[in-house]
Structure 1
Amino acid sequence: MIFDNADVLSPAALEEYFPPGRKGNILITSRNSAMKILTSPENSLEVMEMEEKEAIGLLLKASCLESLTSDVQVEASRIVKKLFCFPLAIDQAGAYIASGATTIGDYLAKYLDHQKTLLSHSEFTGASKYNRTVYETWELSYKEIQQRAESDYSHRANAANSAMLLLELFPFFHHEEITEEIFCYAALTKDNETPMLNLPLASSLLDQRLLPLSEKGTWDNFIFREGIRILLSFSLIWRGPSDNVYAMHPLVHTWGRDRLTLNKRKKCCLIAYVTLSCSLRWDAGQTYGFQRTLVTHVRANMEYFKSKDNQDIVSYMDDAYAKFGRLLGEQGYSKEAELLHIKVLDERNKILGVEHPDTINAMASLAATYRNLGKYTEAEKLEIQVLDARNRILGVEHPDTIGAMANLAVTYWNLGKYTEAEKLEIQVLDARNRILGVEHPDTLFAMSNLAGTYQNLGKYMEAEKLDLQVLDASIRIIGVEHPDTIYAMGSLASTYRNLGKYTEAEKLNIQVLDASNRILGVNHPGTIRAIASLAATYEKLGKYTEAEKLGIQVLEAEYTILGVEHPDTIRARGILAQTYQHLGKYTEAEKLEIQLEIQVLNASNRILGVQHPGTIRAMENLAATYRHWRKYTQGEKLQIQG
């Protein structure tokens, strides 16, 4: 006896059709994982995702293609990757190609323009005898859940309604690592967590249907998990790599959006946006790891309302814009953070006024983003305004005033104003020692900043002393895996390199890079700086091949993440040029050095002006580089201009 595609019935309902006795065999195929209870574990087989090679074979067979040239193989590989090796979708794609409506080379372009049509309409069923489209298969599951929601049995109906709501929200998160923590944190949002402003707030729009609280004030996740249970049983979601983490197949994820009307899509996207905003906070209870996961969902959600049809989904909401701006900045997405911070500052200026504390906070946030983007002149201008306002309004000893002083010192450091930076950092460290104590994280961070300035001033012994103190305290107080501890370790590695302790520096650099990859992520600017620091140490150790490999990796990443004109990108290009010279790759070195000097000169011309000393110095450096590479005509021309 065979029960094929037994997706809709419950195990108990299906079991009623089993004949009595123990003779014969029963074969069940189902997307409902709950069917496993009808047999022993050894007789249950989970069919995993198709391998790419198998998927290509299925596509070519369904396409009825006779000529299997290398071009056809390449196109087939692109198609199956885009369809995430989903067998039914591949079968249907092959049938569409075989019909003559398109070629294998043109299929992806048609798919990108008409995805919903190709996956949902009955004319596009595949070559197999399974006479349903991809979307129709999932729509059957949805209709069964909908029927349960309309039943008279209250718990059954509540669970089904929960499942339907989750199925509307999950497609507006990223398809992987949808963690239960998002809903837990959102449920515990309190009205008093957001200051009472005359501004629109996301927290006022929070949908509470999945977020009831127990009598103890904790989130009651019972109905949430009942909805999850139903979605798991229909294989519309699956469990992630750890407890209470879920994922959707990318095509199910897309179907979840495509099946909604435009108005419903906008509403669900907004509910997901507000839920994400309310789940985000900065307190001892929320880990960096959670925020690293959350930023993926925030970025995915924000992508959904960038299209022409969806641009009016989210109007300005002050708390969401401010939170997401901070989150994106801290997670290394400074360009995206900048747009949000500019909007927050503009709205608060108009509604609250220039001197309001929340407006000044917005100004400080935008300044920090400018600094991360290498826009140090713009950052300096804003930070001087912030420090002046906080001095007047809050007083010299207020923590926010001291924080503004620390931020301005960091910007001075980036501008090469090391004496001014040192002066401010000594004041900050003294104030934090007195007010917060020697081992407070903010005090340690101030100490670390001063150590960095000492390095640039050539005071390496003083820098080493501070770095060791900061690293020891950080490991004890906030732990080895905290981003600030990793930063402290990287600072000490740089100091060791400047002191000629290259072996010690290399050991620390490798630790920092390993931790940064795990904790910050591969593409985080902090990780890129860790790679650059290790490359610089390899350079000092004479390991030029290793330095070259890392230097190329750093330069490619910084082009993408920070942009061509970011100071870190320019610095990386200079270091790689030196490595090329050591390796005898003079053509590559010449090309990089000249590009570098021209870029610095162009940036100085644009930002500082033709007559600025920095621009004149950049022109002199380019002339010297031309002379070094014996390009005397170009060098002479520049000297005449100067």
Structure 2
Amino acid sequence: MPGARKRVAESGPQTVTISFAGYNRVWAAWIGDRLERRGHAVVYQRWDPQEGTPLADSLRALTLAPGPVLIILSTWYFQLGPRTQAEWHTALTEVVAPEPGRFAAVSVTTDALPPATAVFAAADLTTVGEQEAERRVLARLGMPTDPTPATAGARKGPRFPNDPSDVWGGVPRRNTRFTGREGLLNDAYHALKSAEESARVVTLHGMSGVGKTQLAAEYVYRFGAEYDVVWWVAADKRAVCRQRLAQLAPELGLSTGVDYGERLRATRIALRKGEPYGRWLIVFDGADDPEEIWDLVPEGPGDVLITARNPDWAQHNSLLLEVPAYDRDESVSFVLRRAPRLTAREADRLAEALEDLPLLLDQTAGWLNDSDMTVDEYIALLEQEGIDEDVVRVSRDFPTPFRTSWSILLNRLRETVPEAVTLLRLCAFFAPGAIPVRLVRDLPVDELPESLRGLVGNSVSWAAAINKLRQYAVVRAAGVGDREIHETMPEGLGAVPGDTLYMHRLVHQIIRQDMPREEHEELNEVVRRALATADPGQPTDSRMWPEYAEIVPHLKWADVLQTTSPAMHTLVLNCLQYMYYSGEYTPGITLSTRAMDAWKAQLGDTHPRIWDLTHNYANLLRAVGDYAHCEAIERTAVDYLRENHGASDLTHLRAAGSLAADLRGLGRYDEALTISYWVLDAYLDLLGEQDARTLNAQNNAAVSLRLLGRYQDALDLDMKTLIARRRLLKPRHRWSLFSEIHVSTDQRLLGRYNEAESLQAQSVRVHRFVLGSDNPQTLNAEHSLALALYRIGRRREAAELFTGVLERSERVLGEGHPDTLRFAAAQSCFAREHGDIDQAREISERVVDGYTLLLGTAHPFAVGTRSNQALIMRAVGERDQAHELAEQALTGMRAAVGDDHPWTLGCALNASEMRSLRGETESAARLNADTASRATEALGRTHPLTLSARVAAAADLRTLGDRQAADKTEAEALEDLSSTLGPQHPHTMAARSRTRPYWDFEPQII
């Protein structure tokens, strides 16, 4: 800065106004912090001149602030508006030039700025370190540049924009040839910074090859200084994505065990809370299937950037930014950087032939740079293939020139390393993306076709083939246990692990389409055998789930459904079981549907494998609440198997047990119980008490009993099942854990809240460790614990669990899933009493609508949740609507489950309150007296529901004027409440204060 220039600041503390474009907020924050450390006050002014306002007026408005104005200059500062250079020249001449003592500036860009900005005599901060940058800022403002006082220096402030983030992982090496895309980078930045905290997700989407990953990486390097945490996640496979997120836990300094499920949970909680870091950026790269990983996208104060082909991310609370092909100028610049030996004319011709697609330009230009073929010769080869018109025509999935250019490259590969082509074709029978080719290498070499023995059995040939493919940018490679993509690789064959290859989807498609038919069948069979060999054979064991998660995506591409091989059938059935137990319901239903069509065509409608498939298919359908479809399928199976195999056939018994589950889902509990007991008796006769299938039938009979309100009978049977399962299957088996949920539920429904909490608290800890926090069974375990905590009065702990379970269920299972509706029903009841009544009402309406849509208006769950809604209407003062809903619920529940079912008695308790509020005292008293009598008979004198009815009866007697009888009834009820629940229990205290009791309907596991 010229020494003769007038200094901006005077001596002593100053108020400095910093004017900056939002794009440069990080610089403003850092400069402001440096000034505040020295005792100066800072006013931040985001520069965003409005259209229609003269630019000179916008600049002049800055002078209204006291003290000097420091402007942070960048190209973005001058793009806002937008304004022409002529306008800027005029405005700067009018406003800044006459008052050089009011304005100062620093430059944070290496791009050319409008010539008129010379009036600022800006200090350049782009190529210096933090100390020098601070000195230049102070000098430009005319302030002393002495070192910062020690006390101020100890203060933690914003990071210098050019310094790295505290946590940085997996980000690809910066592409020094990155070209253009300025508008997209700025759009992504402003989209994230202007979004609300719960919606700070941007997806860069477009066809394969447009450079989405490169764009995301450049975003990280451009704006990484604004984040304390930057974490890159390869998101093409769910299991890999979960593992990568889990790896962030130790980087954040979180104290967790070695289980990656526990680490994943800790990571997501930390990100959501913004502790220990609130400024984080997570990049999900290659997330082409939103349904696979949308529930893994973190929430919280940070930002999420996604790259994907699929625009369906718009349905998952993400803003879409489409990434198009390059502009021609960008294409030419990029090609010249990628292939320095080419001329600008050649680069232009190549860009035109490849339709400016960045991936094609990168791969083809890189190959041309290393070969002696000219661009004209290359284009001539394209023309010789007879595709002149195709050069400018875009097909449905990708441009035809892409396929053609790869055909040329493949021909070159055949001439140099033919084994590489064989390896590529083998990969084409795995799913695109991450390809675990090590599964093929695990097969015995003597079982492989001759064409593969020399490749798979020879490490040197294997490494040479992979290295050649990487040189042509056909694949990327990673080693076992390292799911991150290696962007670079050391020289030498020994450096290539070759256990997992990453192949672009379009390359995958080209290889598959161009394969000779005879080789197609041979290689396909090899991959099928590799997948079958990799099957752990234990789909119910959660420790094996990562292996199944790796296998499942490849089933489709290996055409495992188009074979009659028993090994392939077993593989598919095991994968379906894994998908059911791990909660991957929708993909499992898709696979089941395709398998059913294929197997029936191959085997006929009544082959034994069809009944195995039917069982798994029905389980998945039932898991998402499609009970009517399930019943139709299972009814057909039961009728056929009974007629053709006999009533005692094990396959028939399995189908009959499943049919009972369908009937439970449909609310036909008596029918379900009859079948459940018949199936249980049959298993006892055939297999004895200690067979796992007998115990499953025993478990199912207890579920039917519980749904019928026979809680003590259900507890007796569930306890018997739990003890036997622990003995037979071990305590940590998922079925043993499921029995713990059932026992705890029975205890709670009987009013034995402390016992329920004690059992379920321990069970939740084991569930999280064994199955992971997001597994549907774990969610059910936590929900059961939340209800127990709520019933014993530990409401703060219950509130946290209720909220967490519902949030995760909505992400993992969806809002309309039966489990989510159950969790939401409880959340609504809790919010009504201890939270936000508006939230309770919104959730309740959603639950009622959800059950009505899923199960129909007459189903007990739809009816019961309307009773809950009546209590909300009462709380907000809408008494007439509350009375109408309560009466509808009572009538509906009587029709659904009978007069003496606890659910009916609970609806009656609520209806009697609504009658009392309307002045229908005698009617309310009669209804409640009947309720108390029936509850005593069905549940016992001291059951919580019976006690509530007795307390309400005392209130009715007092209203009717019979004070003596009211006092006697109340005293007896209070004594029983104190001895049963304790004198300080919320229910006891509420009764003592003469608060009329109510009843919350609780949908049950079916």
After TM superposition, the score normalised by the length of structure 1 is 0.63
Using the TM superposition, give the Cα deviation of residue 549 of structure 1 relative to its aligned residue in structure 2, in angstroms. Answer: 2.3
C-alpha spacing 1:632/1:403, structure 2 compared with 1 (3 Å)? same
In 2: Cα distance, 1:526 partner to 1:88 partner: 43
Choose the corresponding residue for 2:706, options 452, 455, 461.
455
Using the TM superposition, give the Cα deviation of residue 295 of structure 1 relative to its aligned residue in structure 2, in angstroms. Answer: 2.7
In 2: Cα distance, 1:594 partner to 1:110 partner: 36
Structure 2 residue 172 is matched with structure 1 residue 172: no
C-alpha spacing 1:259/1:321, structure 2 compared with 1 (3 Å)? same
Contact kept? 1:183, 1:275, Cα under 8 Å: no
> Which amino acid is 2:686 matched to?
I
Using the TM superposition, give the Cα deviation of residue 586 of structure 1 relative to its aligned residue in structure 2, in angstroms. Answer: 2.6
In 2: Cα distance, 1:131 partner to 1:104 partner: 32
Contact kept? 2:561, 2:599, Cα under 8 Å: no
In 1: Cα distance, 2:681 partner to 2:647 partner: 13
Using the TM superposition, give the Cα deviation of residue 391 of structure 1 relative to its aligned residue in structure 2, in angstroms. Answer: 0.8
Give the structure 1 partner of residue 739 of structure 2: 488
Structure 2 residue 510 is matched with structure 1 residue 262: yes
Give the structure 1 partner of residue 398 of structure 2: none
Give the structure 2 partner of residue 413 of structure 1: 664
In 1: Cα distance, 2:608 partner to 2:619 partner: 17
Structure 2 residue 334 is matched with structure 1 residue 124: yes
**Mapping for residues 88-487 of structure 1, pairs under 5 Å:** 88-89=174-175, 91-93=176-178, 95-97=179-181, 103-105=185-187, 112-113=206-207, 115=209, 123-124=333-334, 172=432, 174=434, 178=436, 184=442, 223=458, 227=462, 237-241=477-481, 248-249=485-486, 256-259=504-507, 262-264=510-512, 274=528, 278-279=532-533, 283=537, 288-299=542-553, 319=569, 324-347=575-598, 353-487=604-738
SS of residue in 1 equivalent to 2:180: helix
Choose the corresponding residue for 2:776, options 525, 530, 547.
525
C-alpha spacing 1:226/1:593, structure 2 compared with 1 (3 Å)? same
In 2: Cα distance, 1:462 partner to 1:134 partner: 70
Using the TM superposition, give the Cα deviation of residue 222 of structure 1 relative to its aligned residue in structure 2, in angstroms. Answer: 5.3
Give the structure 2 partner of residue 11 of structure 1: none
Choose the corresponding residue for 1:85, options 171, 174, 179.
171
Contact kept? 1:169, 1:272, Cα under 8 Å: no
SS of residue in 1 equivalent to 2:187: coil
Contact kept? 1:493, 1:504, Cα under 8 Å: yes
Choose the corresponding residue for 1:585, options 836, 841, 844.
836
SS of residue in 2 equivalent to 1:88: coil
For structure 1, the 5+ residue unaligned runs are 1-59, 141-145, 152-156, 190-206, 213-219, 306-312
Alpha carbon RMSD of aligned pairs, Å?
Answer: 5.6
Contact kept? 1:451, 1:466, Cα under 8 Å: yes
> Which amino acid is 2:512 matched to?
K
Give the structure 2 partner of residue 198 of structure 1: none
> Which amino acid is 1:262 matched to?
I
> Which amino acid is 2:334 matched to?
F
Using the TM superposition, give the Cα deviation of residue 377 of structure 1 relative to its aligned residue in structure 2, in angstroms. Answer: 2.4
Using the TM superposition, give the Cα deviation of residue 638 of structure 1 relative to its aligned residue in structure 2, in angstroms. Answer: 7.4
Structure 2 residue 802 is matched with structure 1 residue 551: yes
C-alpha offsets along residues 97-136 of structure 1, whole Å, 9 cap, x if unaligned?
Answer: 4xx6865436998774463568698953799999999868
Give the structure 1 partner of residue 827 of structure 2: 576
SS of residue in 1 equivalent to 2:670: helix
Contact kept? 2:747, 2:755, Cα under 8 Å: yes
Using the TM superposition, give the Cα deviation of residue 526 of structure 1 relative to its aligned residue in structure 2, in angstroms. Answer: 1.7
Using the TM superposition, give the Cα deviation of residue 507 of structure 1 relative to its aligned residue in structure 2, in angstroms. Answer: 4.3
Q: Higher helix share goes to which structure?
A: 1
C-alpha spacing 1:326/1:226, structure 2 compared with 1 (3 Å)? farther
For structure 2, the 5+ residue unaligned runs are 1-107, 114-123, 127-159, 190-201, 215-325, 343-360, 371-410, 489-499, 892-1006
> Which amino acid is 1:264 matched to?
R
C-alpha offsets along residues 186-206 of structure 1, whole Å, 9 cap, x if unaligned?
Answer: 9999xxxxxxxxxxxxxxxxx
Contact kept? 1:338, 1:370, Cα under 8 Å: yes
> Which amino acid is 1:105 matched to?
D
Contact kept? 1:454, 1:462, Cα under 8 Å: yes
Structure 2 residue 690 is matched with structure 1 residue 596: no
SS of residue in 2 equivalent to 1:471: helix
Give the structure 2 partner of residue 562 of structure 1: 813
SS of residue in 2 equivalent to 1:96: coil
C-alpha spacing 1:295/1:539, structure 2 compared with 1 (3 Å)? same
Contact kept? 1:338, 1:369, Cα under 8 Å: yes
C-alpha spacing 1:543/1:179, structure 2 compared with 1 (3 Å)? farther
Answer with 375-384 or 280-289: which moved more: 280-289
In 1: Cα distance, 2:811 partner to 2:539 partner: 33
Contact kept? 2:745, 2:784, Cα under 8 Å: yes
C-alpha spacing 1:182/1:357, structure 2 compared with 1 (3 Å)? same
Structure 2 residue 797 is matched with structure 1 residue 540: no
SS of residue in 2 equivalent to 1:403: helix
Using the TM superposition, give the Cα deviation of residue 400 of structure 1 relative to its aligned residue in structure 2, in angstroms. Answer: 0.7
Give the structure 2 partner of residue 498 of structure 1: 749
Give the structure 2 partner of residue 631 of structure 1: 878
C-alpha spacing 1:510/1:61, structure 2 compared with 1 (3 Å)? farther
> Which amino acid is 2:593 matched to?
I
C-alpha spacing 1:537/1:385, structure 2 compared with 1 (3 Å)? same
> Which amino acid is 1:115 matched to?
G
Contact kept? 2:335, 2:365, Cα under 8 Å: no
SS of residue in 2 equivalent to 1:115: coil
Give the structure 2 partner of residue 48 of structure 1: none
In 2: Cα distance, 1:286 partner to 1:570 partner: 26
C-alpha spacing 1:541/1:640, structure 2 compared with 1 (3 Å)? closer
C-alpha offsets along residues 532-578 of structure 1, whole Å, 9 cap, x if unaligned?
Answer: 22222221232222222222232233334434333322221111112
Using the TM superposition, give the Cα deviation of residue 257 of structure 1 relative to its aligned residue in structure 2, in angstroms. Answer: 4.4
> Which amino acid is 1:278 matched to?
A
C-alpha spacing 1:402/1:168, structure 2 compared with 1 (3 Å)? closer
C-alpha spacing 1:602/1:237, structure 2 compared with 1 (3 Å)? closer
> Which amino acid is 2:787 matched to?
A
C-alpha offsets along residues 504-530 of structure 1, whole Å, 9 cap, x if unaligned?
Answer: 433443443344334434433222222
Identity %: 19
In 1: Cα distance, 2:872 partner to 2:205 partner: 52
C-alpha offsets along residues 389-432 of structure 1, whole Å, 9 cap, x if unaligned?
Answer: 11111111111111112212222333343333333222222222
Contact kept? 1:172, 1:301, Cα under 8 Å: no
* Larger RCO, structures 1/2 (Cα 8 Å, 6+ apart): 1
> Which amino acid is 2:619 matched to?
A
Aligned residues: 525
Q: Higher strand share goes to which structure?
A: 2
C-alpha spacing 1:256/1:585, structure 2 compared with 1 (3 Å)? closer
C-alpha spacing 1:257/1:435, structure 2 compared with 1 (3 Å)? same
Greater CA radius of gyration, 1 or 2? 2
C-alpha spacing 1:398/1:110, structure 2 compared with 1 (3 Å)? closer
Contact kept? 1:363, 1:382, Cα under 8 Å: yes
C-alpha spacing 1:230/1:474, structure 2 compared with 1 (3 Å)? farther
Contact kept? 1:432, 1:443, Cα under 8 Å: yes
Contact kept? 2:760, 2:785, Cα under 8 Å: yes
